[in-house]
Chain A
Amino acid sequence: MKRSRLYLLLALAVALAGFAVIAGTGISKNLVYYWSPTDITHAGDKAYGATIRLGGLVSPGSVHMEKGSRLDFDVTDQHTTIHVKSTGVPPQMFREGIGVVVEGTMSRGGYFQSDRLMVSHSNEYRAPKAGETVNAKELIKTTKGIE
């Protein structure tokens, strides 16, 4: 192999390694976890500060609209219920019993602080019957972001 070619390959390897490091840190800083209410309680301390997409159903009777677009409601997967305080714009036809995904993080106050609220856009998804559990993962997959 010619010497110049060797240098070129070395330079490329160094550049690639540098890029991999930058991309790696970029990814690890910006991971978004897809969790159900049960997952969050299992995660314990890891849930504080992490970016989480919490999926579940809006518990009937739990929605409180405050001034502006501030919104309080409970998200449940029929096992665990988590209280959500949302500053996100409630999307078209947000209502009780609907499947939602909220993005935000667990606060030390024991509630989920969210600034982004999405509803399921799937035509496959139906509200579960009584006793049926909610598949948070499927729910999260069928939302389209609202910024």
Chain B
Amino acid sequence: MTPVLGRFLILASVFVATTGSLIAFAAGKRKSLDGLAWARRFAYGFAALMALATLTMEYALLTHDFSVSYVAQVGSREVPTWVTIVSLWSSLEGSILFWGLVLGAYIAGATWLTRKQHSEYMPFAIGTWLACGTFFGFLIAGPANPFLTIPNPATDGAGPNPLLQNHILMVAHPPFLYLGYVGMTIPFGFACAALLRGKLGHAFLKPLRVSLMLPWIFLTIAIMLGGWWAYEVLGWGGYWAWDPVENASLLPWLTATAALHSAIVMERRGVLKGWTITLVQASFLLTILGTFMTRSGVFNSVHSFTQSSIGPTILVFLAAVLLFSVVLLALRIDSLESEGKIDSAVSREGMFLVNNLIFVLLTFTVLIGTVFPLIVEALRGKQMSVGRPYFDSMVVPVGTALLFLIGIGPALPWGRATGRQALRSLLPPLITGAVVVAIGAYAGARNPWTLLTLLFGGYAAHVTLVEMFAPIRQGGAKALRRGRRRFGSYIVHAGAIVVLVAIAVSSTMRTSTEVRLDRGQSAAIGPYTVTFLDVEQRMEPNRESTIAKFSVTENGKPVTTLEPRMNQYPAMREPIGTPAVHSTAARDLYLSIMNVDTGSRSISVMMLITPMVSWIWIAVLIMGLGGVVALIPVRSPAIREAKETLPVPGEAAEA
């Protein structure tokens, strides 16, 4: 019964999305407000059906209904209830259904928030969203159907991918990634609407910017959670390996970040409209490319659950969206007239252009390195990959330049800067940079790139903090409330500076050693002495764990006890390690079991000291927080009063 209900809901959602999309485009062409109202109803309908389908799946999972194919695949009576709930995104079919739920929620939210505005653009936006909805509905109904009926259901199953059960971060990472990925559909719809409508008015910039910012926040945090998870679970002590699936999450982030910046120039100077639209479309295309890479099995890794047949389907969709975007851009880009021009390269807007250039370079660098092996394999059948040195050697200089730019951009005025203005604003922060370099060198930094990063980091931090608090000094808290967007973006910058510095320091100043210890023996690393106490086996309902106990002392004083472990899951041939990490502000001590001899009770353990690594997680959260601050709508009491008495001018002009 449940699988039939699920299939019905999905088919209904495909029908609703298709019909709604057609109605919306027709309404856009005829400028029919009635048609738009109907398109909105279909958008809500699509969201409701996706939500119901997801609830049906959760019901099936929780009741262990093994007649549903997806439950048969990932369900198990042995696993804790929270694992059962999150099993929804533990395997391919369920994760695509979850994608549908998120897409529905985004579409409904965006439709609701724009219900009284932008009626000339909205039909095209809703039409584009629902066209994407049609595709994902089709994907769930066809190649990735989780609601197939199993004729003779078993009474129990194997359970979800053990990696999901092994660490809480693996539970949080996928939803954030989907919220980031799927959310890019909304600005894509707005961008297409501007092109189809043939104009991009000032009032329409706000929904474009807001709809880009929200998924950007989620994506930022998702990338960090992925790296953090790799660090906490995979046991090699790193957090980023330029793995294709990691790159897949980074690519749309890079273009979305570029778009957020060019959108500011567009807002201030009325230029770069076509360019911003292109970046927004590229971000959406890269999320689809990323989905193809992670979900089709072309790269098999932690992320691709199984060899599946959805690859070609996604590839066709990718090609269709690419063709649609390019043709639309080619036909309509000239209709988005520039209202101004950029006067001088040495100015705030000039720096925004350099920023965009850098982000586009980064995107191409990572894209080429990621896709090149795929192309070679497709054309010549040979398998290879592009090694890490390529990415490091390309990205490190560009990333350092970016850090420099974070410092120099906000220090320059809009319009045209005089030489003296430029010099005066750039000198004092340089002193801060020099101080930071001195501190770094004292702490042992010798790598020239690291020292350069410290210089630019200190410099950029000085500029950012001055700019962040300038409104407060000038106009107090009220000014700050009005300039919340600016304030938020400087918080993002501050976070980004810390992330870049922490990456430079943690990747160049690691020390590691690998030792074999008998019970009671100790080994020293840095200021720590690590003593191997004991190893024990523990049976848990869903796994068997080997847990080693170490006591840690720092300069003779006891600090903590660390328990790295290896978890053996019945569904997996190899054990999954869980390293133990002792994090402090200055450095992490990281213990990872390499080998256990339970007979003689001796152990091989890798010990790592990585400075500043926890700053990365914290600073990325700060970046997300800054994004949220920038998103909170500005609404001082005076403005609210004005809104109640006067029609809003922007909207009157738009309608």
Contacts and interface: CB of A to CB of B under 8 A. Distances in A.
Interface of A: 19, 22-23, 26-27, 29-34, 51, 53, 69, 89-94, 119-127, 137-138, 140-142, 144-147
B237 interface: yes
B514 interface: yes
Interface stretch (B38-46, B207-215, B572-580): B572-580
14 contacts: A26-B390, A27-B369, A33-B382, A33-B383, A92-B593, A92-B594, A92-B595, A119-B574, A121-B302, A125-B573, A127-B573, A142-B301, A144-B301, A144-B302
A26 B575 contact: no
B383 A144 contact: no
Interface in B250-270: none
B237 A147 contact: yes
Cβ-closest 10 pairs across A and B: A141-B300, A30-B390, A34-B383, A30-B387, A146-B236, A26-B390, A123-B572, A32-B387, A32-B385, A30-B389
Contacts of B575: 92-93
Contacts of B593: 92
A23 B361 CA distance: 10
B327 interface: no
Nearest to A36: B383
Q: Counting chain A CB atoms within 10 Å of each CB, which of B301, B306, B369 scores highest?
A: B301
Contacts of A144: 234, 243, 301-302
Interface string B563-583: 000100001111101000000
Contacts of B385: 31-32, 34, 53
Contacts of A29: 389-390
B333 to A, nearest CB: 13
B386 A32 contact: yes
Contacts of A140: 383
B449 interface: no
B595 A94 contact: yes
The size class of the interface chain B forms with chain A is 35 or more
B386 A89 contact: no
B372 interface: yes
B387 to A, nearest CB: 4
Contacts of B514: 69, 89
B161 interface: yes
Nearest to B241: A145
Interface string B496-517: 0000000000000000001000
Contacts, number: 97
A51 B606 CA distance: 25
B384 A23 contact: no
B595 A137 contact: no
A4 to B, nearest CB: 10
A23 B368 contact: yes
B302 A124 contact: no
A27 B577 contact: no
B573 A123 contact: yes
Interface in B341-369: 361, 364-365, 368-369
B237 A121 contact: no
B594 A89 contact: yes
B302 A27 contact: no
A140 B593 CA distance: 23
A27 B162 contact: no
Contacts of B604: 90
Nearest to B606: A89
Contacts of B364: 19, 23
A125 to B, nearest CB: 7
A122 B300 contact: yes
A51 B572 CA distance: 30
Contacts of B226: none
A53 B383 CA distance: 10
A137 B577 CA distance: 24
Contacts of B372: 27
Contacts of B238: 147
Interface of B: 161-162, 234-238, 241, 243, 299-302, 306, 361, 364-365, 368-369, 372, 382-390, 393-394, 514, 566, 571-575, 577, 593-595, 604, 606
B595 A93 contact: yes
A30 B301 CA distance: 21
Contacts of B368: 23, 27
Nearest to B304: A141
B573 A126 contact: yes
Nearest to A51: B387
B280 to A, nearest CB: 20
Contact of B384 (A33, A69, A124): A33
Contacts of A23: 364-365, 368-369, 394
Given A26-B390, A146-B235, A32 B384 contact: yes
B362 to A, nearest CB: 11
A105 B287 CA distance: 35
B408 to A, nearest CB: 20
Nearest to A92: B577
Given A92-B566, A123-B571, 11 more contacts: A19-B364, A26-B390, A27-B386, A30-B390, A93-B595, A121-B302, A121-B574, A122-B300, A123-B161, A123-B572, A142-B300
A19 B361 CA distance: 8
A120 B574 contact: yes
Nearest to A141: B300
A124 B308 CA distance: 13
A83 B586 CA distance: 43
A138 B389 CA distance: 24
Contacts of A22: 394
A140 B383 CA distance: 10
Given A30-B387, A89-B594, A123-B162, A138 B300 contact: yes
Contacts of B594: 89-92
B574 A93 contact: yes
Given A32-B387, A147-B237, A92 B574 contact: yes
B386 A141 contact: no
Nearest to A118: B236
Given A30-B390, A147-B236, A90 B300 contact: no
A8 to B, nearest CB: 11
Given A27-B368, A137-B383, A141-B301, A124 B306 contact: yes
Contacts of B237: 147
Contacts of A127: 573
A29 B364 CA distance: 18
Contact of A26 (B162, B241, B383, B394): B394
Contacts of A27: 368-369, 372, 386, 390
Contacts of A94: 595
A91 B579 CA distance: 13
